[in-house]
Amino acid sequence: MATVPIDLTVNGRGRSLQVAPHHTLLDVLRDDLALTGAKECCLVGECGACTVIVDGRTVDSCLMLAVEADGALVTTIEGLAAGGRLTPIQEAFLDEGGVQCGFCIPGQVISAHALLEANPHPTRAEIEEGMAGNLCRCGCYQQIIEAILATVEAAHP
Amino acid sequence: MPVGRTAPAPPAPGTVLPDTPTPGPAPGRGPLRREGPAKLTGTALYTDDLVFPGAWHGATIRSTEARARLLAIELDPAFDWSKVVVVTAGDIPGPNIVNSIQDDQPILATDEIRHHAEPIVLVAAPDRALLRQAVGQVIVRTEPLAPVLDPLASDRVFVHYEIETGDLAAGFAEATLVIEGEYRVGHQEQLYIENNAMIAVPRADGGVAVHGSLQCPYYVHNALKRSLLLTDEQAQVVQAETGGGFGGKEEYPSILALHAALLARACGRPVRMIYDRHEDIAATTKRHPAVVRYRSGVAADGRLVAQDIEIVMDAGAYCTLSPVVLSRGTLHAGGPYACPNVRIRSRAVATNTPPNGAFRGFGAPQTEFAAEMQVNRIAEALGESPLDLRRRWLYRPGDTTPTGQVLRESVAAEEVLERAAEAAEFERVRARTAGDRAQRGPDARSAHGIGLALAWHGAGFTGSGEVHLASVASVELTADGRLVILIGSTEMGQGTKTIFPQLVADALGVPMDDVEFAPQDTALVPDSGPTVASRTAMVVGGLVIEACRRLRAVVEERSGGPFADTYRADAGTHGATRIDQHFRPYPGVDFDDTTYRGDAYPAFGWASAVAEVDVDLDTGEVAVRSVVAADDVGRVIHPVLAEGQVEGGTLQAVGYATIEEIKLHDGRYLNDRLATYLIPTALDAPRISTILVEAPFSGAPHGAKGIGELPMDVGAPAVVAAIHDATGVWIHDLPASPERILAAMDTLVRR
């Protein structure tokens, strides 16, 4: 099958790839770049387990073709804890009990990170709205919201 | 062993990442989740994250009919079949049976197809594109047969029970009020965020190793041994990080592991079988639908004097775990209320729909929803507060259940009820909503309501189940002075990997960092029983503590000093010391499986929930605003994780009550995608306030009972009671969807 060349920056590192035209960004992250933090779950953009940041905006990487990411800046969960250091939001998830089975967590953390980048002082309602695209069946929403609020509080006491 | 990807290695368990100023836990919150840092950084390896070089991809060709005769499986001769492998029932070396309670479910269908999505043919190929092509060239020829889709019309009964105590006729003769009700609950999908996933790898000894997302390694082990004719050593089951189970990965992984193993055997390579969400919803087990009928009699003085209960559960096409699901549903159907004259008759029947199985609560949420609806309707008929009625009827120490079990200890029905009602200010809010309802005009757009429920949940396996399981748990002091916990009990988010090191550290007085948790690999750990039935903390936790006590005694006898001061030196001198602790029946707990008399469970947990809702009177939509949940877990081991269990179970119950529903057409699930099967989001989630109550169980050395399932039993009836408080209508069928609420309100207005 014919492939298409793309260049993109993933977690600060330039990548030049040949991708199948029907492969999604999630396929390429997981299979070609071995970045398995983003998860496949529903393939219809409902669950948010595959959430990554593309040019400053969160996307469901299962719905975005890899060729559409040509030239983009992509941040995945692997790009957050740089140098093995948990970010404040990751620390807060751990401390508040926001992690159970963990499968949705990379997407949750990415969404929380992007939310705080865009809005450093969100209200509780804004957090609920901002996180509504990330499903958690273990039911950690309350702990996750508390973790985000704690992160905001710690950054701006 | 899997080869890691280029991603950084996950942090060692129990350690924070280098240079990470991770805050320690606040006092009384318990240690931080052990595998939390790996999950938070994306380095935790779930099944689909594992790499096995040269692995092929497997697919399952399934029935598109609810019932049919299988005439032929044909391979299109124009396709090059030499590059793929195809497996049918004839390729199974041993019995074509998925090992479970009955021997009725084939690994691959042969003569008769009994449900939509039933597996018929397996295909594996080196890449996904070729796999898709090959699957498209397999032709399954069938002849349709008439399906049985209505459980009430099914004459094929997998199992039935009857419990009777007292004199039912005399009870009803004494009754001055008799309330009847029929309640229906539908399928509920577990919807773990990680789909079912399994990778099978051929072993050099002719056996197979499977790495998968699963709750019960030894269930899978037994299934592989039996149908692939393998020895204990040849069959190896390794749990990968597991993205939620909730019962959905209790029995289902057995058939998936068999499929992957058959393909791996056929092609001589590792085979990956990773379901997508559509296949997972279409093919895997759900919570059993049920129809529950009640007739309850109340005497003039307000005593509950008679309960006649009939339960029909729809098992689907095969038996799976239905006998134990139905058993638990039957044993809990009376609710946590004393009644001298009770008859409970139940049956699980076959229909031509996909098999149902384990889901958090395991039969009890179905019957306890009905039981609580009944109590609330009786309270309404008596003109009495639902709180006061429960205060009069609830079990107290010394009461006797319908199986003749005397509740000697650890009975906290009253405490959970009072704590929940007080925290939620139940009576005050109820008086306010009653006032609002009385003054509500025809132009009102929304209504607020409050509802209450109470439940019990037997901890551990039903009846003599724990005796039959004969679980083993081990603790080893290694030659280099570390402590290792060896159990087959799995972590799937509920906290096993955190609380077990905590229990061991407490029992031995050693730092938690010195305690390791062996991988859930059947080649390494003993069978400590399945990770189900809210049994892990109570039963397996108890075994581990007993093993620690024996280990402590052995070392202290040798060293003459306290264990904590001497174990490292002892290991240096004496080498490894391993204690295998075998389950011993709880003293005084006895159940007769044939008569269904005796102690159905060693102990019960108790739960109460108070829910507040807003109902949109134009659309019938329900917003659950808050839930106060009081749960008695015996002894709290880890407050943060325990609260997480209560909140998670409550949220699943809120989904069950309001939005989660499977629609069927000709035996096929219609909404078999996440776009159409809805679960609560962060916006739908109520504020959940958790109250943990401790009524310890003396049979467990640490007093702990179960926690995982309790909250699932009370959420739905509390929400439906709140909907009634807001609107005046009873919704007898779950979920209380906008359509059902509007229809009921319409009927009320016309009356």
For β-strands B483-486 and B515-517, DSSP reports them as parallel
How far CA B300 is from CA of A32, B64, B306, B387, in Å, comes to 74, 56, 13, 19
Question: A101 — contact with chain B (CB < 8 Å)?
Answer: yes
B322/A57 Cα distance (integer angstroms): 47
A143 — contact with chain B (CB < 8 Å)? yes
Domain ranges of chain B: 54-147+191-283, 290-462+595-750, 471-582
- The residue behind tokens 């159990």 is B487
Cβ-proximal residues to B581 (8 Å cutoff; 6+ apart), any chain? B472, B473, B474, B475, B543, B544, B546, B547, B550
Residue B195 bridge partners (DSSP): none
Instruction: Indicate the length of chain A as a whole number.
Output: 157
Question: What's the Rg (C-alpha) of chain A?
Answer: 16
* B138: β partners: B75
Of B6, B46, B241, Cβ closest to residue A34: B6
The Cα A89–Cα A151 span in angstroms is 6
| ipTM of the complex in this document | 0.98
CA torsion, ordered B37, B38, B41, B45, to nearest 10 deg: -170
pLDDT band at A156 (very low <50, low <70, confident <90, very high): confident
Just give the CATH number of B54-147+191-283.
Answer: 3.30.365.10
Where residue A148 sits, what CATH number does that domain have? 1.10.150.120
> Which amino acid is present at B132?
R
Distances in Å between the Cα of B202 and the Cα atoms of B268, B357, B497 are 6, 29, 29
DSSP-derived 3-state class of residue B471: coil
What is the end-to-end Cα distance of chain B in Å, rounded? 68
Largest CA distance in chain A: 56
Average pLDDT score over chain B: 95
pLDDT tens, B614-664?
999 999 999 999 999 999 999 999 999 999 999 999 999 999 999 999 999
At which residue do the structure tokens 């570390």 appear? B482
Q: Which of A50, A79, A108 is the last residue of a domain?
A: A79
> In terms of DSSP bridges, do strands A57-60 and B157-165 run parallel, antiparallel, or are they unpaired?
unpaired
Our measurement of the distance from residue B497's CA atom to the centroid of its chain's CA atoms, rounded to an integer in Å, reads 18
Give residue A85's pLDDT: 87
> A108 to chain B: nearest residue by CA?
B40
Q: Is A91 helix (H, G, I), strand (E, B) or coil?
A: helix
pLDDT at position B749, please?
Answer: 78
- H/E stretch holding A156 reads none
- Average pLDDT of B421-449? 96
A33 is in which domain, residue-wise?
Answer: 4-79
A69 plus A25 within the same structural domain: yes
Q: Collect all residues of chain A within an 8 Å Cβ-Cβ radius of residue B195.
A: 41
Determine, for residues B41 and A37 on separate chains, whether the beta-carbon distance falls below 8 Å. Answer: yes
Whether A50 contacts chain B with CB within 8 A: no
CATH architecture of B290-462+595-750: 2-Layer Sandwich (3.30)
Q: Are residues A75 and A93 in the same domain?
A: no
Q: Is A148 on the interface with B (CB under 8 A)?
A: no
DSSP helix/strand/coil, B548: helix
Torsion angle in degrees (nearest 10) through CA of A11, A12, A13, A17? 60
Do A75 and A31 reside in the same domain of the chain? yes
Read off the amino acid at residue B597: R
* Phi and psi torsions of B364, nearest 5°: -70, -40
| Tens-digit pLDDT profile for residues B290-337 | 999 999 999 999 999 999 999 999 999 999 999 999 999 999 999 999
Contact criterion met (CB < 8 Å) for A36 and B42: yes
Q: What is the pLDDT of residues B140-198, one digit of tens each?
A: 999 999 999 999 999 999 999 999 999 999 999 999 999 999 999 999 999 999 999 99
Q: Is the pLDDT of residue B37 over 50?
A: yes
Note whether A40 and A102 are same-domain residues: no
Using DSSP bridges, classify how beta strands B56-62 and B119-125 pair: parallel, antiparallel or unpaired: antiparallel
- The answer to whether the Cα torsion of B5, B9, B14, B17 is positive or negative is negative
Alpha helices (runs of H) in B514-619, residue ranges in sequence order = 541-559, 563-574
As a whole number of angstroms, the distance between CA B680 and CA B622 comes to: 12
The residue of A74, A90, A142 whose CB has the most chain B CBs within 10 angstroms, and thus the best one to mutate to test that interface, is: A142
Could you tell me if B206 lies within 8 Å of chain A, comparing CB atoms? no
For residue B13, pLDDT beyond 80: no
User: A131 and B682: CB-CB below 8 Å?
Assistant: yes
pLDDT number for residue B278: 97
**The CA-based dihedral angle spanning residues B540, B543, B549, B552, taken in that order and rounded to the nearest 10 degrees:** -70
Q: Is the dihedral of CA B523, B527, B533, B539 positive or negative?
A: negative
For the cut 60, the answer to whether the pLDDT of residue B12 exceeds it is no
What's the total number of domains in chain A?
Answer: 2
Give pLDDT, residue A83: 77
Question: Which among A79, A108, A128 is the end of a domain?
Answer: A79
Q: If DSSP codes are grouped into helix, strand and coil, which group holds residue B181?
A: strand
Q: Is the pLDDT of residue A146 over 70?
A: yes
Please report, as a single letter, which amino acid is at residue B488: G
Residues A104 and A74 in one domain: no
pLDDT at B5: 39
Same domain for A97 and A67? Answer: no
Q: Is the pLDDT of residue B674 over 90?
A: yes
- Asked if residue A70 and residue A100 are part of one domain, the reply reads no
Q: Is the peptide bond before B735 cis (omega within 30 degrees of 0)?
A: yes
Between B22, B192, B652, which is nearest A91 by CB? B22
| Contact residues on chain B for A142, CB-CB shorter than 8 A | 647, 685, 687-688
Q: Is B690 on the interface with A (CB under 8 A)?
A: no
Q: CA–CA separation, B239 vs B519, rounded Å?
A: 8
B192:A129 CB<8 A: no
pLDDT recorded at residue B211: 98
CA distance B711 to chain A (A): 12
- A91–B contact, CB cutoff 8 A: yes
Both A108 and A147 in one domain: the answer is yes
* For A37, nearest residue in chain B (alpha carbons): B42
B244/A42 touch (CB, cutoff 8 Å), yes or no: no
CB contacts of B274 in chain A (<8 Å) are 40
Mutation for testing the B interface, residue in A103, A127, A143 having most B CBs under 10 Å: A103
Query: Which residue, B158, B259, B237, is CA-closest to B519?
Result: B237
Of the partner residues B8, B276, B644, the one whose CB lies closest to the CB of residue A100: B644
Kindly state whether residues A71 and A10 are assigned to the same domain: yes
Q: Which amino acid is at B705?
A: K
Asked if B243's CB is within 8 angstroms of A100's CB, the reply is no
According to DSSP, the β-strands at B515-517 and B68-75 are: unpaired
Q: What is the mean pLDDT of residues B342-364?
A: 98
Q: Of all residues in chain B, what percent carry a pLDDT higher than 70?
A: 96
Q: Give Cα B124 to chain centroid, integer Å.
A: 31
What's the rounded mean pLDDT across residues B207-228? 98
At residue B11, the pLDDT reads 40
A94 and A65 in a single domain? The answer is no
Supply the DSSP symbol for B400.
B
Strand order, beta sheet including B577-582? B515-517, B483-486, B472-477, B577-582
Give the position of tokens 């006797």.
B400
What's the rounded Cα separation, in Å, for the pair B133 and B117? 20
Are the beta carbons of B687 and A90 separated by less than 8 Å?
Answer: no
pLDDT the model gives residue B28: 66
Place of tokens 């299934």: B223
CA–CA separation, B673 vs B683, rounded Å? Answer: 20
pLDDT tens digit sequence for A42-81: 999 999 999 999 999 999 999 999 999 999 999 999 999 8
Band (pLDDT 50/70/90 cuts) for residue B261 is very high
Band of the pLDDT at B483, cuts 50, 70, 90? very high
Cβ within 8 Å, pair B277-A85: no
The C-alpha angle with vertex B246 and arms to B64 and B611, in degrees rounded to 5, equals 110
Q: What's residue B16's pLDDT?
A: 36
Residue B722 has which token pair?
């709140």
Q: Per-residue pLDDT tens for B646-657?
A: 999 999 999 999
Q: What is the pLDDT of residue A81?
A: 87
- What CATH number is attached to the domain comprising A69? 3.10.20.30
B191: chain A residues, CB-CB within 8 Å? 137
Q: Which fold is adopted by the domain B471-582? A: Aldehyde Oxidoreductase; domain 4 (3.30.365)
**What tens digit of pLDDT does each residue of B681-718 get?**
999 999 999 999 999 999 999 999 989 999 999 999 99
